[in-house]
Amino acid sequence: MKPTSPLINLLEKFIHDPADAENNFALALYYNGIGQTASAVSYYIRTAERTDDDLLKYECLIKAARCFESQGTRSFSVKGLLQHAIALIPTRPEAYFFLSRLHEIEQKEGDWFVCYMLASTSLGVCNFDSPKLRTDVGYPGKYGLLFEKAVSSWWCGLCEESRTLFKDLLINHELDTTHRTAVLNNLKFFNEFNTKELILFNKEKHNQLKLKFTDSDKIEKNFSESYQDMFVLTMLNGKRNGTYLEIGAANPFYGNNTALLEQNYEWTGVSLDIDQQFVDAFAKERRNPCLLKDAALINYEKFLYGLDFPQNIDYLQLDCDPPNVTYKILLSMPFEKYKFAVITYEHDYYCDESKSFREKSRKYLESFGYVMVVGDIAPDEWRTYEDWWIHPELIDPAILEKMKITTTATKKAEDYMLGK
């Protein structure tokens, strides 16, 4: 005998007691699940009108609203149902989120202000520890409302609030891919990812250095964005005549990681960049060369061999955008033949949409015996972007012991280097 379909079973139960809210709800969920949203709406509304459970009523109103949303061009109906839901339980966040988002999407006159009002109100009045609904209604969590507030505040002219909210979302919330991408795009749009002013080391800060090194007192100022040059010299105790390979060189001095090594400590090495302007500037302003190359396409074993690099190289900088490119270059490094005493690796975790390349790079470097001295270095409090590594065979263990920290929090580079 052929088994009865689940829908027929549900219909039979319903027919025997059509006033029972659970029978209606089960049918609504089934129809919703197969995309028959009109049928689902019928049973959701019937459920909402037949149950004594306010939470179930609330859930059905949201589900029905989402059915209309999926049919498209029925936002007036969506709004009506969500307004019912808010009126029913004003302290739950889901309906506020969907209504706020709808106004964000519509962008008709005045919608930004309604969106902002709803998001702000919900963040003020809702209990975010409310009991869970029975089913997933598509509500992402509190960050969804923070996101709506962040977007709408910008268009309401509250730009600083918007920036602060977007940064908070990126740093303090586990976002889904859609929201993370949107947050990153907004922060890029605000130009928040670009360093506006470098926080440099200078002579006045010398006494605060966590670990002083040979001739560190003679350094007037450094050049790196986040003390990378000072870190390299610290780990190698101010080594002179060292060697480096700098991948992603950019400007010859401003924010550059090898200028101090070359200028104060007579290092030699090769820089690579894909931008002709930087290569030309290097040729004018620096002693060591910068080559115009796509760093992702180089056979590094042949490259290093051809340039007579020693097998133990003092410093490797890996800094290319976006994070997947830097990781690809890392994988092409000839670690079996060459060792690097110090590596600064830019994973750009803060803007990595996949959030995957930091972990991948760590596993890969560890597999070649490298030790992470400090992870999640940032130029400020939030842009977690680099890990700093050493090879233990090439570094004084006493220095490593003094500089190594294992906490997972974001570390502002200057605080780390000055021992704050």
Partner 1 sequence: MTNLAKFALDRGGSIHPLIIPSAQTNGTGLMNPSILIDNGKIIVNIRHVNYTFFHSEKKLFQHPWGPLTYLHPENDIHLRTDNYYCELNDDFEITRFNKIDTSKFDTYEPMWDFVGLEDVRLMRWDGKLYITGVRRDTTTNGQGRMELSEIVVSTNTVTEISRFRIPPPKDVNSYCEKNWMPILDMPFHYIKWTNPTEVVSVDPTTKTSKTEQLGDTIYLPRDIRGGSQVMEFNGNYIALTHEVDLFKSEVGRKDAVYKHRFIIWDKNWNIIKHTNDFSIMDAHVEFSIGMCKYHDDILITFGFQDNAAYLLKISAIELENFINSH
Instruction: Give the binding site for partner 1 (CB under 8 A).
Output: 2, 7-8, 11-12, 14-16, 18-19, 31, 34-42, 45-46, 48-50, 57, 61, 67-68, 70-77, 80-81, 84
Query: What is the distance in angstroms between the CA of the first residue and the CA of the last residue of the chain?
Result: 76
* Residue nearer to partner 1 on the CB measure, 1 or 409: 1
* Residue nearer to partner 1 on the CB measure, 72 or 124: 72
* Residue nearer to partner 1 on the CB measure, 60 or 150: 60
Residue 23 beta carbon to partner 1: minimum distance, rounded to whole angstroms: 10
State yes or no: cis peptide before 392, omega within 30 of 0.
no
* Residue nearer to partner 1 on the CB measure, 90 or 392: 90
* Residue nearer to partner 1 on the CB measure, 26 or 417: 26
Residue 91 beta carbon to partner 1: minimum distance, rounded to whole angstroms: 19
DSSP label of 341: E
Q: Which residue(s) pair with 243 in the sheet?
A: 268
Give Cα separations from 175 to 142, 143, 159, 179, 263 (angstroms).
10, 7, 22, 6, 44
CA distance 365 to 14: 61
Residue 188 beta carbon to partner 1: minimum distance, rounded to whole angstroms: 33
Is the Cβ–Cβ distance between 255 and 223 less than 8 Å? yes
* Residue nearer to partner 1 on the CB measure, 106 or 380: 106
Residue 10 beta carbon to partner 1: minimum distance, rounded to whole angstroms: 9
Residue 8 beta carbon to partner 1: minimum distance, rounded to whole angstroms: 6
* Residue nearer to partner 1 on the CB measure, 107 or 214: 107
Residue 103 beta carbon to partner 1: minimum distance, rounded to whole angstroms: 15
* Residue nearer to partner 1 on the CB measure, 86 or 184: 86
Task: State which H helix or E strand residue 316 sits in.
Answer: strand 312-318
Residue 291 beta carbon to partner 1: minimum distance, rounded to whole angstroms: 55
Q: Quick one: tokens of 45? A: 């509304």
CA distance 150 to 77: 26
* Phi (first) and psi of residue 219, to 5 degrees: -80, 120
CA distance 245 to 317: 6
DSSP label of 242: -
Q: Which residues contact 72 (CB under 8 A, 6 or more apart)?
A: none
Residue 84 beta carbon to partner 1: minimum distance, rounded to whole angstroms: 5
SS3 383: coil
E strand spans, 339-385: 339-346, 371-378
Is the Cβ–Cβ distance between 248 and 279 less than 8 Å? no
CA distance 419 to 410: 15
